[in-house]
Amino acid sequence: MGRSKVPLLVVCGPPGAGKSLLVQRNAGPRDLIIDLDVIKAELSGLPLYHAEHAEWMQRAMGERNRRLLSLCESTTAERLARAWLITTAPTAADRRWWRETAGARTLLVVASPETCRARILGDERRPPARQAEHLKVAEDWFKRYTLDTFGDELVADAAVHSV
């Protein structure tokens, strides 16, 4: 990926932190939202969080990357106000890569492990198998997490914050 010609906001954090909520509350009508969970649902034809991770991940990643590459094209830049990428990116190096390579802003959605766990388990859209996967991803995220004090824009409460 090269530098995006569309203002790109990379929204990072563990599952259950509120990344999707933050984007939904701040995205405008001319914004593109790139969310791997949504892409898996689109490709599989299944409801959000119902597509088997292993079965759909490779195709979904390919489509996500295609959408990201389109942000480098002038024709895309002419029709979009900005783009949002929802991802986990637990390490400072992960987020720095997005800033340096794509010219993105990185928003780090901060939530406690307990909050993430409660949100995952309380989300009726997530079947039990996906809840277990998302709990594991969240646990791994907190183990790998590093802060970049000079590059990360922290979002403490995604439910009420605007970007």
23, 24, 116, 143 from 28: Cα distances, Å:
9, 9, 26, 34
Cross-strand bridge partners of residue 107:
11, 153
Could you give phi then psi for residue 57, rounded to 5 degrees?
Answer: -60, -45
User: pLDDT band at residue 76, thresholds of 50, 70 and 90?
Assistant: confident
Quote the CA–CA distance of 60 and 58 in Å, as a whole number. 5
Q: Which CATH architecture has domain 8-155?
A: 3-Layer(aba) Sandwich (3.40)
Distance, CA of 79 to CA of 31 (rounded, Å): 9
Contact at 8 Å (CB) between 160 and 109? no
Q: How do residues 30-71 score in pLDDT, each as one tens digit?
A: 999 999 999 999 999 999 999 887 889 999 999 999 999 999
More confident residue, 149 or 22: 22
State how far the Cα of 116 lies from the Cα of 76, in Å rounded to an integer: 34
One-letter amino acid at 107 equals L
Residue indicated by tokens 């039990």: 128
